[in-house]
Structure 1
Amino acid sequence: MSRSADVILGNEPGSFPHGVLAERHPAIIRQVRESFPYGPTQHRALDALLESCTKGVIEPLPGGAWGEWGIDACAGRSWFDVPWLWSESYFYRRLLDAVGYFGDGPWRGIDPFRPSKLAELDSRETDEELAALDGLAALPVEEQWTALLHGSLWGNRADLGFRLSDQAAEGRDAVPDLVADDSDRLRTLLDGAGTLCLIADNAGRELIPDLLLVAHLLEHGRIERAVLHVKPHPYYVSDATTADVVDALRRLVRAPGEAAAYGRRLWDAMTDGRLDVRAHPFSCAPLPYADMPADLRAEIGAASLTVLKGDLNYRRLVGDRWWAPTTPFADVTAYFPGPVAALRTLKSDVVTGLDGRTETALTEAEGQRWRTSGTHALIQVRP
């Protein structure tokens, strides 16, 4: 694909971003409508949002919100003609307004995505993944690290993470699942000193593997302390909030076997300060991390390593642009105020840091679908 590093928009019919705006967002509105017994006020607001996001224009937010995040420049324009990252974020803010999340009524603070998050935590798949921890405990520490790293990488394909990678098979595969692998470099940065900042992505079956990885690093002295950055309010359907962290810890603690031991260690780490949770407002900003405010930049800059989880955080880390896939990861993250790593399953078009042979093999085998299918992942590090 020969494109410049222009900002990704959603105005090209048939493109992945256009499909998200035109099809996924209306489906999310229907899902939220059915998840709670909302009253006529919420239903009217959801109807208005559906009309706006498919045929209307960007409108100002209540109380002058997002003034510092570009609302004035985008107001009056089509949802499809502003940066896709911005438009998506604006949709979720409007959705929360529609159901009264920020209002003064009885629906204030009620997460519209909570039913699906809890259902995932209580699923049979989660039971199976937690049961796999019993077998993991018998492996050498380095093999546990590899398995837990891959569990965190693949998120809700976490069951694959507990299967140790066959490195020889990976090398033989013309189109590997892992399209970039800096895991050895990542391992060297976890030298037992300082603080790890982990910028979380999704709740449920993705957050649990993230927490398991943190527990492993703390237990074996690979880090002194961890700070888990989550969202201050619901965002992008399944993004993790502080309430989701608590739900995940409770799920672990009440599980049988090794899962409960992990949960108890994490619970104790939170109570004694070795594991902390942050919910900075910028975590829900419709902007790249290059625009992070000074206080967040200072906090991240003081960490020994920052790991960003998931596709959305990757888009914000490198910039949601049409980079050539061979653009060096180190170049597009040079602004970041400290060592940084990305653990990401590919679910959108943006990607950097691939070698030319890998890109060619992927494109020849799959066209451009490899960018968005969720069947490939990457581990990238800029020390």
Structure 2
Amino acid sequence: MLFCVMPAAVSLVCKTPYRPLPRPLAADGDGEASFTYDSVQRRLPLIVESVIDKNSYSEALQADLRSLAGEIAAGEPLKPLAAPSAEWEDALAPLLAAGDTWLSAPWFVVENYLYKRMLELTDGPTGGADPFAAQKAESLDGAAAAFADMLSAGLTEGEMLADDTGELCAALEAAGGEEVVVVLDNCGLELVSDLLLVDGLLRCASPPRRARPVFVSDVVEADLAPTLAWLEEQGGGPLAGRLRDALADGRLLVESPEFYTGPLPFWEMPDELHARLAEAALVLTKGDANFRRLLGDLHWPHDTDFADLMREYWPTSLAALRTCKSGVLATPS
């Protein structure tokens, strides 16, 4: 799906959409046959187990992580975070007061809460290594083969629910040398593909010195160095060099607001992030998780007009690219 929204009027303040909000996706509420239930009850514990398998943690830490995985699978009540931010404290307070469990709490909150719980266990008091570093390295090692598979598989145009490619191209052309924000999703092959996109934006912008694509996601700058090194090993030295130059002279920025690993929908983004995105000529979001955040991970009627909903709170032009995984859906105009 590729949605492109050119707002008729810019939202100057970040606010909840005008219309009544439907209920959030949740494992119990969506039922055992749903993708939501499977994701929480089966997939999330597997994520914890994979972190144990890929890291040389002490026996005590492994036991703590396995206990966390058991909490999820058993649908136990949520627990307070050890040192929550104000955002997390506000989000968790009503869920803790109501005795919500991993299965009854909103799915989007639960997913992000899992990573906070894992980091509390693995970071220690002064921070620590990325628990997903080994998996990121493996995904990068497999990027070449995955890219070849994508090329040989061909396009599945018949399965596109929405395709605003023409509108996106027009928006990029209209942006000229203005700032474009790319909100990322995953490392590995996806980050490699995103770097190709950003390189194209940097090279095609006119005037080129004003083009400043911005990465905004949980893919932090530390993830770029091994990816650029991998590109060089694969014969992509000129591409890696151009991107390093763009980072050095400020045409390419990498930003990692904590909001992107938090429990809130985009319409509750902090004022400073809202203002930051409003400065861009275009924001391009990628992935199912970012699409879910755009729609608040709520059960909108599937005939909800995506563009109309975004115009109620989004501050600039928007393109949203996602592969449908969750049940969150809206329609093109």
TM-score between the two structures when normalised by the length of structure 2: 0.84
Query: How do residues 248-263 of structure 1 correspond to structure 2 at under 5 angstroms?
Result: 248-256=227-235, 259-263=236-240
Counterpart-to-counterpart distance in 1, 2:228 and 2:34: 38
User: Contact 2:88–2:262 (CA<8 Å) still a contact in 1?
Assistant: no
Counterpart-to-counterpart distance in 2, 1:33 and 1:118: 16
Aligned residue number for residue 293 of structure 1: 270
User: Contact 1:250–1:263 (CA<8 Å) still a contact in 2?
Assistant: yes
CA 354–305 in structure 1, closer or farther in 2 if over 3 Å, else same: closer
Gaps of 5+ in 2: 1-20
CA 226–43 in structure 1, closer or farther in 2 if over 3 Å, else same: same
Q: Relative contact order, CA 8 A, sep 6+: which one is greater? A: 2
User: Contact 2:292–2:328 (CA<8 Å) still a contact in 1?
Assistant: yes
2:80 to 44, 48, 60: 60
User: Contact 1:180–1:353 (CA<8 Å) still a contact in 2?
Assistant: yes
1:337 aligns with 2:284: no
User: Contact 2:49–2:66 (CA<8 Å) still a contact in 1?
Assistant: no
Aligned residue number for residue 44 of structure 1: 63
Aligned residue number for residue 228 of structure 1: 215
- The alignment yields a C-alpha RMSD, in angstroms, of 2.2
The amino acid across from 2:188 in the alignment is G
Show structure 1 runs of 4+ deviating over 6 A: none
User: Contact 1:204–1:244 (CA<8 Å) still a contact in 2?
Assistant: no
CA deviations on 1:22-60 (whole Å, 9 max, x unpaired) are 111111121111111211221221132123222311111
How many angstroms does 1:127 deviate by? 5.8
CA 354–195 in structure 1, closer or farther in 2 if over 3 Å, else same: closer
Aligned residue number for residue 91 of structure 2: 70
Q: Identity rate of aligned residues, in percent?
A: 32
SS state at 1:119 partner: helix
SS state at 1:320 partner: coil
Aligned residue number for residue 160 of structure 2: 178
Counterpart-to-counterpart distance in 2, 1:160 and 1:333: 35
Counterpart-to-counterpart distance in 2, 1:302 and 1:250: 32
SS state at 2:83 partner: helix
Query: How do residues 106-185 of structure 1 correspond to structure 2 at under 5 angstroms?
Result: 108-123=127-142, 125-126=143-144, 129=147, 158-159=150-151, 170=157, 176-185=158-167
Aligned residue number for residue 271 of structure 1: 248
Counterpart-to-counterpart distance in 2, 1:92 and 1:336: 27
Aligned residue number for residue 123 of structure 2: 101
Counterpart-to-counterpart distance in 2, 1:159 and 1:117: 22
Gaps of 5+ in 1: 133-156, 171-175, 232-239, 356-383
The amino acid across from 1:101 in the alignment is D
Counterpart-to-counterpart distance in 1, 2:106 and 2:302: 20
Query: How do residues 371-382 of structure 1 correspond to structure 2 at under 5 angstroms?
Result: none
Counterpart-to-counterpart distance in 2, 1:64 and 1:219: 42
